[in-house]
Chains A and B, each alone.
Chain A
Amino acid sequence: MFKMKGSPRITKVPIHKRFVMFWVNHFQHAVGTLGELWRTPMASLMTMAVLGVSLALPASFHLLLKNAERVTASWDNAAEVNLYLHQGLNDKTTQNLIKRISLYPEVETVTYISQSQALREFKEMSGFGNALDFLESNPLPATVQVTPTEQHSSPAAAKLLLVKLQREKEVEQGKLDIEWLERLHGIITLVVDSVVAVAFLLLSSVLLIVGNTIRLNILNRRDEIEVMKLVGATDAFIQRPFLYTGLWYGIIGGMIGWLLTSSMVLWMESTVKQVAGLYQSDFRLLGLSLSEFVFMILLSAVLGLLASYVSVKRHIRLIEP
């Protein structure tokens, strides 16, 4: 009646029943811990709110970047190459050059601005007006404005095109107005890096907060855990409800984070619309997509579970009857 040969792990319940009850048990714990959270709403809401806020911050940074990238993406396409031609070229060579450039596969449009045209424009724009009439000769070069096709309009591709165009012997100098774009990209990369760092810090604080809450839960139920160990509960059985608590903290905290982020988007939308209107743009603020929502909840759930797992592993072992 009391067999212990080999492993003492014998049981009076057949394996298939144990398997079924294992899942029934899981389900009971999952529902039970949710009920427990419901019965102590203030305490659990605090923890979940901290989780939500910590997640909402990196999420809104992410949204900010996503929208900023959309804005700058349209700026990228404005990349334009200006070619300044040598003085004193005759019409035929100039026409030849324009024809050659427009046959480049990378080139979308070519616009020619002659020397006199340039001077006229300069007169109008600069406000020097008739003062320029006193110049002996026209100092402005003839210019060819080249717009690359869309797939060649990224800073790197446009730069390649510029080098190619500069090899034309009629061209004295080429200029690509992308320095500011490169700087902007640099700044964006910097912001992304710092957001990643801040997000990392916030998420570690989430781990610590949830871990500590679970630790307090465990200490509160010290007597119960002792009794359970006395009657033969395994650590896995004892830690299950705490792991579920952590999981719920994560899931609900993630939802709070999503709500916070979404309401922030709603709140800013009208302002953004107004600003976009001033720039004659129909830009609309993008919120979190479905996949981003799912990712956020999953990340939060994993964090909650991980934090409670670490806490449970440390503290349940220490409680011995």
Chain B
Amino acid sequence: MIKFEQVSKVYSGSHQALQKVDFHLKQGEMAFLTGHSGAGKSTLLKLISLLERPSDGRVILNGNDISRVSRRHVPYLRRHIGMIFQDHKLLMDKTVFENVALPLVIEGYSRAEVERRVMAALDKVGLHGKEFCVPVHLSGGEQQRVGIARAVVNKPPLLLADEPTGNLDPKLSTEILKLFEAFNSVGVSVLIATHDLGLIAKMRYRTLTLRNGKMLSDGLMGGEHV
């Protein structure tokens, strides 16, 4: 699904965010991406969703080198990736329904289809009945669920989450992770960036560790390599 080959990223001001990173996330796999803040977790995710371009190396998404995808094609590529952010990135003046419907409206689904899919997605994340609320009236955990519903509503094969539990207490965090597990169990590849090591330890999944832009370890927590 995702393959990094010797990927480096240098930001202007010669800040080296990533150095020769190699890894491969298979289709249907779920993994954590961890490291201290500033280790390059966000940069790595941004390279996959083409929010940033690599300075060197190749990023391969499902067999296609996306480093050289033209600007015009970027939106179409992003439609295949569900993205979840720490700060949710919701439209605060729109209802939950409108927020979740956005990717479907963009892709040109009919009104009836949009309604059906949005309701199904809200149902999945446990927000049934909240579709006409405005995000500001929801709790942090609920807002994150809206974000997740929006990410999965058009059934992308890949989910990227950047600190999805950053602002949540452990109980809510576990619930959110259970959601990701549920999506993974139906074949969606999931990559979650987090520095919440306690959370990772609880669920035994493959873990990629970054330190100062280098891939330190690639395997299960506790040293068991895959």
Contacts and interface: CB of A to CB of B under 8 A. Distances in A.
B75 interface: yes
B64 A12 contact: no
Contacts of A223: 91
Contacts of B213: none
A30 B61 CA distance: 37
A228 B106 contact: yes
Interface string B1-37: 1000000000000000000000000010000000000
A8 B139 CA distance: 37
Interface string A1-44: 11111011111110001101110110000000000000000000
B5 to A, nearest CB: 17
Contacts of A226: 89
A231 B103 contact: yes
Contacts of B187: 1
Interface string B81-92: 001000001110
Contacts of B91: 223-224, 227
Contact of A7 (B73, B105, B108, B109): B73
A232 B110 contact: no
Given A2-B158, A223-B91, A230-B78, A13 B106 contact: no
A229 B155 CA distance: 18
Interface string A54-66: 0000000000000
B62 A4 contact: yes
A227 B75 contact: no
B108 A22 contact: yes
A9 B73 contact: yes
B165 interface: no
A17 B113 CA distance: 11
Interface residues of A, number: 34
Contacts of A7: 73, 76
A43 B104 CA distance: 32
B63 interface: yes
A172 interface: no
B75 A229 contact: yes
Contacts of A9: 73, 76
B220 interface: no
A151 interface: no
Given A2-B62, A227-B89, A231-B102, A21 B75 contact: no
Contact of B75 (A12, A22, A24, A232): A232
Contacts of A233: 75, 102, 106
A227 B150 CA distance: 11
Contacts of A229: 75, 78
Nearest to A6: B64
Contact of B76 (A10, A18, A235): A10
A39 to B, nearest CB: 12
A8 B69 contact: yes
Contacts of A25: 105, 108
A268 B27 CA distance: 78
B157 interface: yes
A232 B108 contact: no
Nearest to B103: A231
Nearest to B85: A230
B79 interface: yes
Contacts of B107: 11-13, 232
Contacts of B102: 227-228, 231, 233
Given A11-B107, A320-B51, A4 B75 contact: no
Nearest to B93: A224
A237 interface: yes
A4 B61 contact: yes
A127 interface: no
A1 B76 CA distance: 15
B154 interface: yes
A234 interface: yes
A226 B103 CA distance: 13
B157 A2 contact: yes
A40 to B, nearest CB: 13
Given A230-B89, A321-B51, 6 more contacts: A7-B76, A8-B69, A8-B77, A25-B108, A234-B75, A234-B106
Interface of B: 1, 27, 49, 51, 61-64, 69, 73, 75-80, 83, 89-91, 102-103, 105-111, 150, 154-155, 157-158, 187
9 contacts: A3-B62, A7-B73, A8-B76, A8-B77, A24-B110, A231-B79, A231-B150, A233-B75, A233-B106
Question: Nearest 7 pairs between A and B by C-beta?
Answer: A232-B79, A232-B78, A21-B108, A2-B157, A231-B103, A18-B108, A234-B75
